[in-house]
Amino acid sequence: MSLMSKLRAPDQPPGGAAPARHPVPRGRRRARKGTGLTPFYHGLLLGCCAGMTCALAIGVIGFLVTRPTAPAPAVAAPAAVPQPAAGARPGGAAQPQASIDVTLTHLGDLQVRIEAKVSAPGSYDPITRAQVVAWTDMVAMPMAHRQGPIVMAEVPGQPGTYQALTQVAMVGEYNVTVETRQPMASRTDKRLNVQEVGKG
């Protein structure tokens, strides 16, 4: 046996003929290796992922930065400053007010006599040399026929008694205000019904 025959494959027949190959069935094909995504699809996918990430980051930053602000507190209206009463001293206690007793008399022809007795509070001693004035105003038409200040003079021989004469504009009911300014501030109101011929 020669050297070539020794080196021959064991399944090869001695005649040198190659072994027969088994035919591949027609219905079965060899699987092809996948080639993967193209560069275009790779770029599109990366772009979508990057855009979604940026949008999410912007939304989170905007939520953290934009905090809800509390509504501004309502501004309270300034409290009304109480006006001092007649005779009140600024920054101190109110000054005692004089006592005023008013008598109104209709003398006829729309003429009215105003008489006021002014006395000190508590003791009711007559207050002399006081500054006393009066106003008349029609009740049905306020400020339309207002008269004053009418200066009232002290009656001789009657300490603390002050009188004044005035003439009203027409028949009707009038409100008469008497006010003392010195030495004690005080005021009082009284009404009088004035008729054409009658006397009050």
How do residues 69-79 score in pLDDT, each as one tens digit? 655 555 555 55
- Position 26 pLDDT exceeds 70: no
Cβ atoms 169, 194 nearer than 8 A: no
What's the whole-number mean pLDDT along residues 1-21? 52
- Token pair, residue 69, equals 């602000």
Helix (H) or strand (E) holding 192: strand 186-194
- Position 52 pLDDT exceeds 90: no
String of DSSP letters for 48-64: HHHHHHHHHHHHHHHHH
What's the whole-number mean pLDDT along residues 145-173? 90
Instruction: State residue 200's pLDDT score.
Output: 45
Pairing of strands 131-138, 186-194: unpaired
Q: How confident is the model at residue 92 (pLDDT cuts 50, 70, 90)?
A: very low
How far, in Å, CA of 194 to CA of 161, rounded? 23
Instruction: State residue 2's pLDDT score.
Output: 52
Instruction: State residue 144's pLDDT score.
Output: 81
Q: Tell me the per-residue pLDDT of 130-146, one tens digit each, with 9 for 90 and over.
A: 899 999 999 888 888 88
What's the whole-number mean pLDDT along residues 91-113? 80
- In this structure, CATH architecture of domain 99-194: Sandwich (2.60)
Residue with the two structure tokens 């190959």: 21
Question: In what order do the strands lie in the sheet containing 131-138?
Answer: 99-108, 111-119, 161-167, 147-154, 131-138, 172-182, 186-194
Share the mean pLDDT of the chain.
Answer: 75
20 versus 135: which is more confidently predicted?
135
89 versus 50: which is more confidently predicted?
50
Instruction: State residue 31's pLDDT score.
Output: 47
- Position 177 pLDDT exceeds 70: yes
